[in-house]
Structure formats: structure tokens, C-alpha cells
Amino acid sequence: MSQSPHSNTALPTTHMPGQQEFLNYYYFVSSRQPNEELKNVWNASKEDLKKLADEFKEFNINRGISRYLFRLVIEFVITNASKATGSINQKANTLYKQFTNQFYWVVPFLGAYGVTDQVIEKVLKRVIVVALENLDYKPEKDWSEWESVGGVLTSGPAAVALNGRVEVFARGRGQNLYRTYRERGDWSNWENLGGSLTSSPAVASWGPNRLDVFGRGDDQALYHKYWTGEEWSEWENLGGQLTSSPAAASWGENRLDVFARGSSKRLFHKYWNGQRWSGWNELGGTLTSAPAVVSWGSNRLDVFARGQDRSLYHKYWNGSAWSEWESLGGVLTSSPSAASVGPNKIEVYARGENNTLIQKTWDGDSWSEWVNLGGNLTSEPSAIAKGRRGIEVYARGENQRLIYKTKS
């Protein structure tokens, strides 16, 4: 993965027209957080902006510089759009003239890279048009309303997609594991699968009609139960001393990776290689929540957790080594959950302040800002991918019921 846009802005060492003005703007932007309207417009415009940044890349202008210039343009549009009249193209023409008059240094700054006036006008006008098209965008537009599935949950849920079904697990009364599933739009009754859980469960699938469920037991050890396609196994003790709920993922057939917070708030990892379980491996960190894990490719794992400052932290395995922990910001009031809608695409969800659902996405190039999706969650969420773009998020709502919302 590339780094955040704050870390890849490189300017030529020789002075060029507008360089100082760009640096002044860069440091100003770096010192403050974008407001909600800018976040919404930016997130809705990201795919278009990436393509426009590619046009500047042909002139050796890196994405960091393009991002900050595009942010400058979008902020200008948000502030001044109401003053422009006519069609969207007429508004774009007006706003482009006003923008280049106010920020007189932008054209010579880009020109010093060899960008022609025609290309500058074409790209920046397109940024203006994209911003105008998304001024009224709200993230909730892409999502359904919250729906209730009922039940009596005493933990957060764990969900997984399997053979056209959605399977959901949670701890219920008596600390037992309960299961429900949706098939062809209909939800099953809740089924009691026994056990004695002291955490939310985790679930993963490594093959057709295969389910592996994990939870922490009374003795703080990891417990495991699996569905073969015909029957459920008994619970088995996999050891360890967990101080959080587990998280599980599979990046290949007959492969399982399980993570949990252990002693001294550090991350621990255990895996099944098709023949045996490994021992527990310590991966460091200082976690103040259970971890979340997702795999978007063979031998690839991305792990997330809340840190001491309540921000989201991220660590990944690239097939040969683990990265260091990196902070992705935010204010989390629950453990996170992560899902992948395609290679090098990740969506992370958590409960934020005021118990709402918050979202952050990796598009293969950069992380989005946090987006507030509303709701009233009383547990951590559980997110699953449905197809190339669809997402479903499950959580415990009011009155201990299972609730969910979908994005298609």
C-alpha cells in the first residue's frame, strides 16, 4: 500500500513559480481536518479525481501535489458555488476564472512542470464539475435503512457470506452461541449451538459450505467449532489467554488465521495450515479493543484495532513480513470490522462517537476520510462483502436485537 497523501508530496528542489504559495497552502491544510461537506464531496469524487491526477502524473506531478491542489479547488467550489449561475458548464467556467484570479499562483506553478494552459484548464474545470455534481452527496444515499432481525444478543454479531446465504452468529442467553441465516431474502429462526462464550464470536469460511466459528471461553482460552457441510463439530480448546474477542480470516483453502488481544494488550496470532494449528505468535502493539482481520488476496492479511488514543491502527502481512503499526485516525468506541470488495480494496467500520456507524475505505491508493453512516449501535459492527461492490454491516441495536444495513 502507498502512504497517506500527507507523506508523498515531493516538490522540486529548485524554486519555481508558486512553490512558496503551494507550501503555504500545504502546511495550512496539513494542520487542520476537513469538514464534513468536504469529506462527502471528496469521497464521492475519488474515482474521477484519481483519473484526473493521472493526467498531471504525465508531467511528473505526483499524487500528493494533485490531491492538495484538487482539495483547494473543491473547497473553493463549496464556498462559492451558490454565487455562480447558469448550466453546470457555465458555472464551471465562472468558478474557474474566479479560482485562477484568487489563486493566481496555481497556473504558473503547474506550468513550471511543463503543463500547458489548455491541460490545466481542462483538468481543473473537470474537478470543478465533479465537485458541483457531488455537492449534495450524503453517504447515507448509498445505504439502505437499518433493518431488525430480532433475537436477544448479549455480544456483538459475526457475519459471513456463504453459497448465496448470509450466516450470522452471536452470543445469546446463557452465554451460548446462536446462529441465524438469510436465504432468498428470508431469515431462519435462531439456532442454539451451545458453548460458554465470554466474548463476541468470530467466523470465517475457507471453502464451499465450510464454516469455522471461534470464541473466548470461561477459562479465557480460544474455542473453535466448525460446520462440515453436514454437521457441526464439538467445541475444541485451542489454548491461549485472550483478553478480547477473537478475529478470523482465510486467505486460501484449508487455511485459517486467528487473532486476539493477549497479555499486556499485545496482538497474538495463531493459524491452521491444513494439517495442524501453530502456536501463538506475538505481534506487538497496544490494543484497547479486539482486533479485526481481512484478506484480499493469497497470503495477504490486514489487521486493525483501536489504540490507546482511540484511533484506528493497521498492520499487514504481505506474504513475507509484517508491517509496522500505522495510525489511521478516527475516534472509535468499539472494536473495528473490515471487509474487502476486491483485490487491494478494504472497507473498515466501527462504532464512533454518539454510537453511530463510521466507515473508512482503502481504494488501492489512499485511505478516505472517516464517514458517518448514522444508526444507534450497542455493539461493535460486523461487515461482509457481497459481490464486487456490495457491503452488509451487522450490529446489535436497541433492545439487544440484531440489526443490519446494506450498500449495493
Read off the pLDDT of residues 266-283 as tens digits, 9 standing for 90 and up: 999 999 999 999 999 999
Question: Would 150 be classed as within a structural domain?
Answer: no
Higher pLDDT, 128 or 30: 128
- Flag whether pLDDT at 89 surpasses 60: yes
Q: Among all chains, which residue has been given the C-alpha cell 506553478? A: 109
For the segment 8-32, the average pLDDT, to the nearest whole number, is 59
Residue 399 and residue 309 share a domain? yes
CATH number for the domain that contains residue 282: 2.120.10.70
CB 226 within 8 A of CB 236: no
Among the three residues 78, 98, 133, which one is the final residue of a domain in this structure? 133
Instruction: Give me the pLDDT at residue 369, please.
Output: 86
Provide the percentage of residues in the chain whose pLDDT is more than 90: 79
DSSP 201-249: -EEE--STT-EEEEEE-TTS-EEEEEE-SS-BPPPEE-----SS--EEE
Residue 162 and residue 127 share a domain? no
SS3 state at 333: coil
Instruction: Give me the pLDDT at residue 25, please.
Output: 65
Residue 282 and residue 217 share a domain? yes
**Could you tell me the three cell numbers for 57?**
502524473
- Flag whether pLDDT at 359 surpasses 60: yes
- Flag whether pLDDT at 394 surpasses 80: yes
For the segment 25-43, the average pLDDT, to the nearest whole number, is 73
CB 349 within 8 A of CB 357: yes
Among the three residues 79, 98, 133, which one is the final residue of a domain in this structure? 133
As a whole number of angstroms, the distance between CA 174 and CA 89 comes to 63
Residue 369 and residue 334 share a domain? yes
Q: Give 178's contacts (C-beta < 8 A, 6+ positions apart).
A: 151, 153, 169, 170, 171, 172, 190, 191, 192, 193
Instruction: Give me the pLDDT at residue 308, please.
Output: 97
Higher pLDDT, 154 or 5: 154
Residue 375 and residue 242 share a domain? yes
Residue type, 70: F
Question: Would 315 be classed as within a structural domain?
Answer: yes
Question: Would 1 be classed as within a structural domain?
Answer: no
Phi, psi of 119 (to 5 degrees): -70, -40
Which helix (H) or strand (E) segment holds residue 403: the answer is strand 402-407
Alpha helices in 149-227 (DSSP H): none
Residue 79 and residue 192 share a domain? no
Provide the percentage of residues in the chain whose pLDDT is more than 70: 91
Q: Give 268's contacts (C-beta < 8 A, 6+ positions apart).
A: 240, 242, 259, 260, 261, 262, 280, 281, 282, 283
Q: Residue 168's Cα: distance from chain center in Å?
A: 20
As a whole number of angstroms, the distance between CA 28 and CA 30 comes to 6
Q: Which domain holds residue 193?
A: 158-406
Considering its fold, how many domains does the chain have in total? 2
Tell me the whole-structure pTM to 2 decimals.
Answer: 0.77
For the segment 335-360, the average pLDDT, to the nearest whole number, is 96
Residue 162 and residue 124 share a domain? no
SS3 state at 130: helix
Q: Residue 400's Cα: distance from chain center in Å?
A: 25
Instruction: Give me the pLDDT at residue 11, please.
Output: 46
Residue 166 and residue 118 share a domain? no
Residue 119 and residue 175 share a domain? no
Residue 162 and residue 121 share a domain? no
Question: Would 58 be classed as within a structural domain?
Answer: yes
Instruction: Give me the pLDDT at residue 2, please.
Output: 36
Question: Would 148 be classed as within a structural domain?
Answer: no
Among the three residues 118, 133, 148, which one is the final residue of a domain in this structure? 133
> For 304-345, what is each residue's pLDDT tens digit?
999 999 999 999 999 999 999 999 999 999 999 999 999 999
DSSP 8-class letter at 46: H
Give the strand pairing for 326-327 and 312-317: antiparallel
Question: Would 5 be classed as within a structural domain?
Answer: no
Question: Would 170 be classed as within a structural domain?
Answer: yes
As a whole number of angstroms, the distance between CA 134 and CA 369 comes to 16
> For 95-142, what is each residue's pLDDT tens digit?
999 999 999 999 999 999 999 999 999 999 999 999 999 898 777 678
Residue 355 and residue 249 share a domain? yes
Residue 109 and residue 205 share a domain? no
Pseudo-torsion of CA 362, 331, 308, 333, nearest 10°? -110
Higher pLDDT, 5 or 213: 213
**Could you tell me the three cell numbers for 115?**
503543463
CB 329 within 8 A of CB 311: yes
pLDDT, averaged across the chain: 91
Instruction: Give me the pLDDT at residue 1, please.
Output: 45
As a whole number of angstroms, the distance between CA 51 and CA 21 comes to 25
- Flag whether pLDDT at 387 surpasses 90: no
Instruction: Give me the pLDDT at residue 18, please.
Output: 67
Largest CA distance in the chain: 72
